[in-house]
Amino acid sequence: MSELKHKGLLHGVTLKMILIDLEAWYGWVELGEKVDIRCFTNNPSMTSSLKFLRKTPWARKQVEYFYLKALTSRK
């Protein structure tokens, strides 16, 4: 998926909204299995995950792509 299209699909969706949805759909344990990022596997919380993802572009990108895949599979 191109970067421009990716950003367009997420227009108006905040990182917090993404995490709230993903945590509700999968829970922290399954989310940590599907997106192997330590903020989801080691004592996860909304606050610590947001803080990490906001300052780590590669991790945020993984979460955004996973969110888009999850959205398309739910339809």
- DSSP assignment of 20-59: HHHHHHHHHHHHHHHS--HHHHSS--HHHHHHHHHH-HHH
* Whole-number pLDDT of residue 65: 94
- 3-74, what's its fold? 1.10.720
Q: Is 3 helix (H, G, I), strand (E, B) or coil?
A: helix
In the chain, domain spans: 3-74
pLDDT value of residue 43: 93
- Residue 45 CB partners (closer than 8 Å, separation 6+): none
The average confidence (pLDDT) of the chain is 89
At 4 the pLDDT is 43
Most distant CA atoms of the chain, gap in Å: 33
Mean pLDDT calculated for residue range 56-70: 95
